[in-house]
Amino acid sequence: MSLARSIILKSSALKPVESIVRKSFLFKPLVTRFIAGDTLEESIKESEAILKNGQRITLDYLGENTHSEAEALASCKIYADMLDRINQVDHVQNWQQNQVGKEPLNISIKLTQCGLDQGTEFAEANYRKVVEHAAQHHNFVRIDMESSAYTERTVDIVSRVFTEFPNTGTVLQSYLHRNDDDVDFMIEKGIRTRLVKGAYLEPATVAFPEKSKVDEQYVAQAKRLLKSGNYPAIATQDDKIIKELCNFVESNQIDKAGFEFQMLLGIRRDLQNSLVKDGYNVRIYVPYGDQWYPYFTRRLAERPANAFFIIKNLFKN
Ligand SMILES: Cc1cc2nc3c(=O)[nH]c(=O)nc-3n(C[C@H](O)[C@H](O)[C@H](O)COP(=O)(O)OP(=O)(O)OC[C@H]3O[C@@H](n4cnc5c(N)ncnc54)[C@H](O)[C@@H]3O)c2cc1C
């Protein structure tokens, strides 16, 4: 992990830094670039524009690590409301529901938001209810992957719920040493997997610190998922890697309908559009809600130049 990335992730956890970032107008343009708004309606409005542009959406209600069972239950109620509201969107109404993976709008949620810190069984029961609700709408629920403290439990919980409800899947992070085994596991079970490089601050004992090694792992694991996975999602903004994987798809005659690229709202829109033009499925991760701070700082850490530009201007004023 680069030093700059590590500094941003560590310092953003300090309360005074959070207070400055939340209050300063200098951060506002970046916040609004990465986050669709505070409300579900704002995120639906943003999503409708993206759908018209030929891309699909996964909607994320921002927030993580609930502090009480009541908080977790309130988050799960919001997930159910999201699924109900999504079901009213024109593109969803017109969608042929038997097309696996092609749901125009699905949701991405976090197990710590379902109450994982309050208990594994509690969180699993809450998550199961959300997936059951999604199944009634023929929709899909993705469990985002959080820090390595949760990886094992996330893989276990998702694979248990999947045996009952195949309309769910999760995310694997290529920076983790364990990830080769997890990729094998997801392929064997047929669980829909989104592959990412990984966004959390992790020690070298669990994650590769060198970017080149993470990139190498990512490419090899993406190729395996593209060949043998169940509708994998290749989630990256790395244009070199995307190019290499598109060449791999062409030369191995892999069906473009059998997987999707995923990218974050506000990052590399040019690349998102050119992939659609080339006939690839592209899904945009659209986060909304007022709990945007942790998500936002992970985005800053991925591109330290953004953060340092703003900090320089903070001290000029
Ligand atoms: C759809 C989606 C879902 C994700 N879900 C998870 C998850 O559940 N768990 C998890 O740990 N991580 C998740 N991530 C984040 C992921 O782990 C990476 O941190 C993030 O995608 C940046 O890595 P990269 O693959 O784009 O490659 P990088 O090598 O970081 O970036 C490649 C290029 O992309 C552009 N870029 C990347 N990030 C930014 C940015 N923030 N601002 C501006 N330009 C940027 C730059 O041009 C950069 O050179 C998700 C990412 C995506 C796209």
Three-state secondary structure call for residue 237: coil
Per-residue pLDDT, 196: 98
Residue 149 lies in a domain: yes
- Provide mean pLDDT across the span 255-278: 95
- Residue 278 identity: D
CATH code of the domain in which 126 resides: 3.20.20.220
Does residue 151 surpass a pLDDT of 60?
Answer: yes
Kindly give the number of the ligand 1 atom that is closest to the alpha carbon of 200.
Answer: 11
Per-residue pLDDT, 227: 98
Kindly give the number of the ligand 1 atom that is closest to the alpha carbon of 237.
Answer: 26
Residue 249 lies in a domain: yes
Q: Which residue did the predictor score with more confidence, 22 or 249?
A: 249
pLDDT band with cut points at 50, 70 and 90 for residue 12: confident
Radius of gyration of the chain (CA): 19
Per-residue pLDDT, 100: 62
CA–centroid distance, 236 to ligand 1, in Å, is: 5
Residue 316 lies in a domain: no
CA–centroid distance, 162 to ligand 1, in Å, is: 26
Residue 257 lies in a domain: yes
Per-residue pLDDT, 5: 81
What residues make up the domain containing 196? 36-291
Question: In this structure, are strands 192-196 and 141-143 parallel, antiparallel, or unpaired?
Answer: unpaired
pLDDT band with cut points at 50, 70 and 90 for residue 317: very low
CB distance 60 to ligand 1 below 6 Å: no
Kindly give the number of the ligand 1 atom that is closest to the alpha carbon of 215.
Answer: 29
Does residue 315 surpass a pLDDT of 70?
Answer: no
CA atoms of 17 and 184, how far apart (whole Å)? 40
Residue 274 lies in a domain: yes
Residue 6 lies in a domain: no
Does residue 305 surpass a pLDDT of 80?
Answer: no
CA–centroid distance, 88 to ligand 1, in Å, is: 30
- Provide mean pLDDT across the span 192-208: 96
CA atoms of 15 and 148, how far apart (whole Å)? 23
Does residue 70 surpass a pLDDT of 70?
Answer: yes
Q: Which of 87-91, 107-111, 185-189 has the lowest mean pLDDT?
A: 87-91
Per-residue pLDDT, 152: 98
Mean pLDDT computed over every residue of the chain: 92
Does residue 10 surpass a pLDDT of 90?
Answer: no
- Provide mean pLDDT across the span 279-297: 93
- Provide mean pLDDT across the span 261-267: 95
Per the CB < 8 A criterion, the answer to whether 114 and 75 are in contact is yes
Per-residue pLDDT, 143: 98
Angle at 232 between CA 243 and CA 286, to 5 degrees: 85
Residue 81 lies in a domain: yes
CA atoms of 295 and 64, how far apart (whole Å)? 9
Does residue 24 surpass a pLDDT of 80?
Answer: no
CB distance 302 to ligand 1 below 6 Å: yes
Residues in the chain: 317
Instruction: Tell me the whole-structure pTM to 2 decimals.
Output: 0.94
Per-residue pLDDT, 309: 62
CB distance 197 to ligand 1 below 6 Å: yes
Residue 313 lies in a domain: no
pLDDT band with cut points at 50, 70 and 90 for residue 9: confident
CB distance 173 to ligand 1 below 6 Å: yes
Considering the chain, what percentage of its residues have pLDDT values greater than 70? 95
**Total count of domains within the chain:** 1
- Provide mean pLDDT across the span 35-45: 95
